[in-house]
Amino acid sequence: MGRNEQKKGSVAFIGLGTMGHHMALNLLRAGHPVAAFDVRKEAIDSLVAQGVVAAASPADAARSADIAISMLPDTPHVEEVIYGESGILASPPPGRLVVDMSTISPVAVRRMYADLKAVGVDFIDAPVSGGPIGAKNAALSIMAGGSADAFTRAEPYFHAMGTTIAHVGESGAGQTVKLCNQLVCAINIQAICEALALGRASGVDLDQLRGVLLGGSASSWMLDKLGPAMIAGDASAGFRIDLMLKDLRLVQEQALSLAVPLPATALATSQYVEARAHGEGSNGNQALFRVYDRMINRTNV
Ligand code: NAD
């Protein structure tokens, strides 16, 4: 190590799926030693060749880490990693900082914050936006809730994974901002489906339609990134329908608890429910266009 190079903090990374795989790699590339754990051994193996150290449990990964970061599907998975037998609460990282970057319940997050604080460990909820492409390119938007001090300590790690990084408030605020992000995405994709359905039925070239919309006031991330797959009928990989339904459930729970009506979100949610009922839960969000195909009785969907 050169005289001016500072030693980078070490990371325990837990959850090496669609997003976590890239995020762990980007931390490693930024110079942070990474010890990683996932319940799928093959997910760990695929990173070991690149220099990540394999761990046998969350506690094992956290053993000598400055920070523990998790990227897991839903609230019960994060609870397992925090409260489980070989979890983080029983054996916190020596750096006493834990960051969950999954999209989970803000209520559960605030409980984790309190339980970890009781044993002298800081906890930040820091969900992300930007999808697998953003994760791969270290270009995620990261919205963090927790204490200002903990955020300052976590910031260098966030910079290895994202470009838009914001401290948006106390514990749980990161999740609230993420849920707002998700309801915009879910409603936006319905609008794109409707434009494509109308354009197609009217005989307009859909690639050209998309290109024109992208150049004007109807432009959106969804249209840019998911539009080509929607037009091509490619329903594979990406942000899964099941994960968006999980997010929409969290949105509705929070809205009901605060008596905030969200009628457009309710409509979008029912389209996602329809998609899952047709076996599309593992497909990417672009498969929403097939709901519209089914509504107008197009064959082979
Ligand atoms: P994923 O299902 O691809 O990956 C999750 C990983 O966690 C898997 O490898 C799984 O084996 C592992 N896992 C599950 N339970 C575990 C446990 N108890 N201990 C250790 N590992 C465990 O999910 P993803 O697409 O990477 O998404 C992760 C989170 O990020 C979700 O909350 C999702 O809503 C959110 N998110 C996803 C995207 C996206 O485009 N995929 C974008 C933004 C946010």
pLDDT at residue 252, as a whole number = 97
Among 251, 299, 242, 247, smallest CA distance to 273 is for: 242
User: What's the pLDDT at 275?
Assistant: 96
In a domain, 300, yes or no: no
- The band of 236, judged by pLDDT with boundaries at 50, 70 and 90, is confident
164 and 37 share a domain?
yes
End-of-domain residue from the set 155, 170, 185: 170
**What whole-number distance in Å separates Cα of residue 179 and Cα of residue 173?**
10
85: number of Cβ within 10 Å: 9
Domain containing 189 equals: 176-295
> Which of the listed residues 130, 152, 170 is the one where a domain comes to its end?
170
Mutate to test the pocket of ligand 1, among 13, 14, 16, 18 (most ligand atoms within 8 A of CB): 18
Same domain, 184 and 92: no
Q: Which of 21, 22, 45, 72 gets mutated to test ligand 1 (max ligand atoms within 8 A of its CB)?
A: 72
List, for residues 148-180, the tens digit of each pLDDT value: 999 999 999 999 999 999 999 999 999 999 999
In this predicted model, what pLDDT tens digit does every residue of 96-113 receive, in sequence order?
A: 999 999 999 999 999 999
Element containing residue 13 per DSSP (H, E): strand 11-14
Q: Please determine, for residue 3, whether its predicted confidence score (pLDDT) is greater than 90.
A: no
Amino acid in position 180:
C
If you take atom 4 of ligand 1, which residue's CA is the nearest one?
A: 17
Which CATH number goes with the domain that contains 163?
3.40.50.720
Task: Provide the pLDDT confidence category of residue 299 given band limits of 50, 70 and 90.
Answer: low
CATH code, domain carrying 245: 1.10.1040.10
Q: What is the mean pLDDT of residues 34-46?
A: 97
pLDDT for residue 109: 98
Q: Please tell me whether residues 154 and 40 are part of one structural domain.
A: yes
Q: Ligand 1 centroid vs 295 CA: distance in angstroms? A: 31
Q: Are residues 185 and 132 in the same domain?
A: no
Active site residue 178: yes
- Percent share of the chain, pLDDT over 70: 97
Report how far ligand 1's centroid is from the alpha carbon of 209 (Å). 34
pTM above 0.85, yes or no: yes
pLDDT band, very low/low/confident/very high, at 116 (cuts 50, 70, 90): very high
Domain count, the chain: 2
Q: Which pLDDT score, from 0 to 100, does residue 300 have?
A: 53
